[in-house]
């Protein structure tokens, strides 16, 4: 069974569209994250949720909205997609206080 799973794995969409990426973890962790990896492979934290509460909200456009319906899920919704949103988005989870962070396989978003 996959520990942290993301869907879809690949997503090609047009500018201006709205899209969502779903993430689920079956590790029983209480903290989940979204990271963005840009074309230069730099990984940057976007959001972090602990027990469904938002604890990190880095400087990202408000077109990005995370939603955590329960501790096992953290979805990412993106409105009005722009070319610069093209990246690989990683979901991750951990147990806090700081346990090891486990990553999903990534969702490759291409905006055309």
Partner 1 sequence: AQTVTQSQPEMSVQEAETVTLSCTYDTSESDYYLFWYKQPPSRQMILVIRQEAYKQQNATENRFSVNFQKAAKSFSLKISDSQLGDAAMYFCAYRGSSNSGYALNFGKGTSLLVTP
Applying the rule CB under 8 A, the residues between 26 and 65 that interact with partner 1 are: 31, 33, 35, 37, 40-45, 48, 50, 55-56
Distance CA 25, CA 60 (A): 24
Q: How far is the CB of 103 from partner 1 (least distance, A)?
A: 4
Q: How far is the CB of 31 from partner 1 (least distance, A)?
A: 6
Applying the rule CB under 8 A, the residues between 83 and 102 that interact with partner 1 are: 88, 90, 92, 94, 96-98, 100-102
Around 88, how many Cα atoms within 13 Å sit in the side-chain half-sphere?
Answer: 13
16 versus 44: smaller Cβ distance to partner 1: 44
19 versus 106: smaller Cβ distance to partner 1: 106
Rule CB under 8 A: which residues touch partner 1? 31, 33, 35, 37, 40-45, 48, 50, 55-56, 88, 90, 92, 94, 96-98, 100-103, 105-106, 108
């Amino acid at each position: 069974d996959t520990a942290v799973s993301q869907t879809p794995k690949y997503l090609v969409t047009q500018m201006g569209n709205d899209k969502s990426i779903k993430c689920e973890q079956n590790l029983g962790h209480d903290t989940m994250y979204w990271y963005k990896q840009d074309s230069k492979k730099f990984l940057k934290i976007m959001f972090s949720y602990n027990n469904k509460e938002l604890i990190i909200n880095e400087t990202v456009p408000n077109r990005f909205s995370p939603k955590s319906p329960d501790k096992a899920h953290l979805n990412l919704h993106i409105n009005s997609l722009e070319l610069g949103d093209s990246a690989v988005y990683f979901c991750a989870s951990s147990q806090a206080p700081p346990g090891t962070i486990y990553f999903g396989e990534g969702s490759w978003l291409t905006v055309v």
